[in-house]
Amino acid sequence: MTTQSIADFLEELASATPTPGGGGAAALMGAMGAGLIAMVAHVTVGKKGQDMQLQEMEQQIKEAGVLRQEFTAMISADAVAFDGLMSAFKLPKHSLDAIDRRALAIQQGYQDATEVPLSCIRACLHGLALAHRSAEQGHRNVLSDSGVAVHALLAALRSAILNVQINVPAIKDQSFVDAALNEVRAAEEEASASAAMTLDVVNARLS
Ligand SMILES: Nc1nc(=O)c2c([nH]1)NC[C@@H]1CN(c3ccc(C(=O)N[C@@H](CCC(=O)O)C(=O)O)cc3)C=[N+]21
């Protein structure tokens, strides 16, 4: 999955098979955001002089690298989780015992298919904080790329939120649902404020 070419991934995304789906697409958007932040830092380090803070740029490269790896792993993890849910639905219903086992597997499947987008949301919040540092301290030539990273990470976060929202109505563990929805609400608030602030920085430095 994660060693595929972009063209092959998009072909599979477009096909009628359930994975990769919107969950994997969200993770890929996040990976692009993280990749762009690292690119901005690499370019900035490559420019001589000014008051560029080498340590900060090296730190951004490191954090963005870890994030990109996490997002990339989520592309596969989301496919595994959603395929697991699809398989649970196909379990037999030939006895009361089998029906119980199937119901349990479906519940586990929905929880797994919710945990991956929740991880994606957390990684996006970290990515958005990093994008703010990137927009403030990155080289002006690549300022737009810090902005593109913001858009990619916000799209990834909101996409992951949609995946949580479509899955939770099927989950019977109310404390799990409440925790997930509370986290989603807080994340949307933090992300929209953070993105707006960073896009203001981008616009201010552009003009
Ligand atoms: N973590 C997570 N990742 C997702 O990608 C994700 C998700 N949660 N939650 C729900 C949505 C919706 N989604 C579907 C994609 C294709 C079919 C699909 O192709 N279904 C076929 C056949 C499925 C089969 O049986 O193989 C059908 O219904 O006819 C269904 C549903 C992915 N989502």
CATH of the domain at 102: 1.20.120.680
199 in any annotated domain? yes
Give pLDDT, residue 50.
62
78 in any annotated domain? yes
Q: Are 194 and 146 within 8 A, CB to CB?
A: no
Measured CA to CA, the distance from residue 192 to residue 117 in angstroms comes to 17
What is the residue range of 90's domain? 19-206
74 in any annotated domain? yes
Residues with Cβ within 8 Å of residue 79, at least 6 apart in sequence: 1, 19, 20, 21, 23, 24
What does each of the 207 residues of the chain score in pLDDT, given as a tens digit?
667 899 999 999 999 999 999 999 999 999 999 999 999 999 999 997 666 799 999 999 999 999 999 999 999 999 999 999 999 999 999 999 999 999 999 999 999 999 999 999 999 999 999 999 999 999 999 999 999 999 999 999 999 999 999 999 999 999 999 999 999 999 999 999 999 999 999 999 999
Q: Are 192 and 129 within 8 A, CB to CB?
A: no
Spell out which residues line ligand 1, taking CB within 6 angstroms. 16, 18, 21-23, 78, 81-82, 86, 113, 116-117, 163, 166-167
3 in any annotated domain? no
> Which candidate, 31, 36, 49, 54, places its Cα nearest to that of 137?
54
Give pLDDT, residue 135.
98
Q: Report the separation in Å between the CA atom of 69 and the middle of ligand 1, taken as the mean of its atom positions.
A: 24
Q: Are 200 and 135 within 8 A, CB to CB?
A: no
- Between CA 104 and CA 18, with CA 185 as vertex, the angle to 5 degrees is 45
**Tally of domains in the chain:** 1
7 in any annotated domain? no
- The complex's ipTM? 0.93
> Which candidate, 166, 152, 189, 172, places its Cα nearest to that of 23?
166
Instruction: From 163, 168, 171, give the residue whose CB has the most ligand 1 atoms within 8 Å, as the site to mutate.
Output: 163
Give pLDDT, residue 52.
72
- Torsion-angle region of residue 50: left (phi > 0), alpha (psi -120 to 50) or beta? left
Q: Report the separation in Å between the CA atom of 35 and the middle of ligand 1, taken as the mean of its atom positions.
A: 27
183 in any annotated domain? yes
135 in any annotated domain? yes
Give pLDDT, residue 48.
74
Give pLDDT, residue 2.
67
70 in any annotated domain? yes
